[in-house]
Amino acid sequence: MLELATIADWQEIKRLSVQIHDLHAAWRPDIYFSTEEPYPYDIFLEDIQKRLVYAAKLEGNIVGYVVLSISKKDGAGTVAHKIMRLESICVDEPFRGHGIGKKMVTDVWALAKAFRCSQLLLGVHAENDSAIGFYQKCGFRIRTINMDMNI
C-alpha cells in the first residue's frame, strides 16, 4: 500500500498533514497553532531525497502518508542498534476505520526490517485515546511516558 512519495504527491500530503496538525493544535494550543503548511515543502523535498516519506495509495488515490526517520544508537551502556521512528502517520478522515492504518503500519514494519532496524518507535498525544488503542492493537506497547509542565 505504501509507495515512495514523489513531488506530484505534495498537494495531497500537505492537505492530510493539516488534518493531523489541527488535532495537535486543538490538544496543545500552547505549542501548536493552525497553519496551511505544517509539513513545509522544503522539508518534504529533503524527506523524499532521503526516501523517508511514503504515500498510501488506494486505486491510485492518496489516502494517507507516513514520514519516517532512522537513527543509530550506540552510547555508553547500550547495545548498538538502529531505530526507525514513525514521525507522522495519517489516514484521510473518510478512510479511517477500514484497515488502511493497519496496512500502513504493517508496511512500515516491513520497511524497518528491510532497513535492518531493531525497533520501531512512535509518539502519540496522551489525549488521542483512539490512536493509542490502535497502536496497541498493532503491537506497540507503552515504553516511556513523557511529561511536561508549562511555565
Q: What is the pLDDT of residue 128?
A: 87
Indicate whether 12 pLDDT > 90.
yes
pLDDT confidence bin for 125, thresholds 50/70/90:
confident
- The predicted model gives 42-65 an average pLDDT of 95
Q: What is the pLDDT of residue 24?
A: 85
Predicted structure pTM score = 0.88
Q: What is the pLDDT of residue 35?
A: 87
Indicate whether 149 pLDDT > 90.
no
CB atoms within 10 A of CB 118: 13
Give the chain's mean pLDDT. Answer: 92
Q: What is the pLDDT of residue 69?
A: 95
**Strand ranges (E), 7-151:** 53-58, 61-73, 81-91, 119-122
* Residue bearing cell 515512495: 4
For residue range 61-95, list pLDDT tens digits in order: 999 999 999 999 887 788 888 999 999 999 999 99
- Given phi > 0 = left and psi -120 to 50 = alpha, else beta, which region is 51? left
Indicate whether 102 pLDDT > 90.
yes
* Residue bearing cell 531505530: 83
Q: What angle do CA 120, 36, 98 make, to 5 degrees?
A: 50
Phi, psi for residue 72 in degrees, rounded to 5:
-110, 140
